[in-house]
Structure 1
Amino acid sequence: NATALPGDAAQTVAELKAKPGGNIIMYGSFTLMRTLLQHGLIDELNLSVHPVVVGEGQRLFDAALPHALKFVAATPSATGVVTLTYAP
């Protein structure tokens, strides 16, 4: 199940994190990821590397958001996709 969150993303996620409950999972929005990372609201990043070359795209991180990330794990799949786990 998914829920669209209204209002300011950083404020809404901060309020959700303050409440008891399970993990908050976000898929696919690197714009939102940048915002949450900038506000210190991400506990773990899971980045999947697919063995496909597309030749172009947008950078996940840019120079405006320097962050030190700690490598936690790498999990390969049978299809060649590798999921990299980092913690800020």
Structure 2
Amino acid sequence: MGELVVVENVTLDGVMQAPGGAEEDTRGDFRYGGWARPYADHVAAATMGEGMAADGALLFGRRTYTDFHGFWAGQGDGNPYTEVLNRKAKYVVSRTLAGPLPWQRSTLLAGPVADAVARLKRDVAGDIVVLGSGVLVRSLAAAGLVDQYTLSIHPLILGAGTRLFDEPAYREMSLVGTVTTTTGVIIASYRPAVTA
């Protein structure tokens, strides 16, 4: 049985939109794309690399899958992330994509999202890691399917952009681990608190 682990870059004010590049996601006239890049360092790379190397699978929404495939599938040898991303089983939630999907080891999930992901959690050994995919993450959180959030919290306030948690909802979390990078990013892992 797998656990669903959400991995996100966020700002101090919770923005998760377009951390990687200016053209990544401009919805809502967002103009701060690429905000996470100046904070990259060897500590973050090693921490994320450990998580990526573990057994399990990846789960994407359509937009993130398309972006990742467009960049990572064509990267040459020598980049450790390329080999891992190509090797791992990838599951995709989309209302618009049709199979077969172009990236090796990719499967389009059918049926209602919560049901499909609950089945996936039963069938996959190891963690099922969700990268980006904000719309998908919010729907999985609402369905109570997220087992852990690993958040790279950047020392930056944008004041605009799509936030990871965009609707008010009371949730208690338990901190299960932290790593601080040389650039001031705190990589914090949280699990939903068990309520009696």
TM over 0.5: yes
Pair member with larger Rg: 2
Q: d(CA) in 1 for partners of 2:119 and 2:157?
A: 39
C-alpha displacement of 1:14: 0.3
C-alpha displacement of 1:60: 2.0
| Relative contact order higher in (CA < 8 Å, ≥ 6 apart) | 2
Q: d(CA) in 1 for partners of 2:177 and 2:188?
A: 6
C-alpha displacement of 1:20: 4.5
Can you give the 5+ residue segments of structure 2 that lack an aligned partner in the other structure?
A: 1-87, 93-107
Q: d(CA) in 1 for partners of 2:171 and 2:157?
A: 26
Q: Which is worse superposed, 4-13 or 20-29?
A: 4-13
* Corresponding residue for residue 81 of structure 1: 185
TM-score, with structure 2 as normaliser: 0.40
Q: 2:149 aligns with which of 45, 48, 69?
A: 45
Q: Secondary structure at the match of 1:11?
A: helix
1:5-24 per-position Cα deviation (integer Å, ceiling 9, x unaligned): 33322111100111241210
* Corresponding residue for residue 6 of structure 1: 109
Q: d(CA) in 1 for partners of 2:115 and 2:140?
A: 9
Q: Secondary structure at the match of 2:130?
A: coil
Q: Secondary structure at the match of 1:67?
A: coil
C-alpha displacement of 1:55: 2.9
Q: How does 1:9-88 map to 2 (within 5 A)?
A: 9-61=113-165, 62-63=167-168, 65-88=169-192
Can you give the 5+ residue segments of structure 1 that lack an aligned partner in the other structure?
A: none
* Corresponding residue for residue 20 of structure 2: none
Q: d(CA) in 2 for partners of 1:60 and 1:27?
A: 12
Structure with the bigger percentage of helix: 2
1:22-63 per-position Cα deviation (integer Å, ceiling 9, x unaligned): 210001122211211122211111111112332312232221
Q: Secondary structure at the match of 1:25?
A: strand
* Corresponding residue for residue 82 of structure 2: none
Structure with the bigger percentage of strand: 2
Identical-residue share of aligned pairs (%): 36
Q: Secondary structure at the match of 2:117?
A: helix
Letter in 1 for 2:141: L
Q: d(CA) in 1 for partners of 2:164 and 2:144?
A: 17
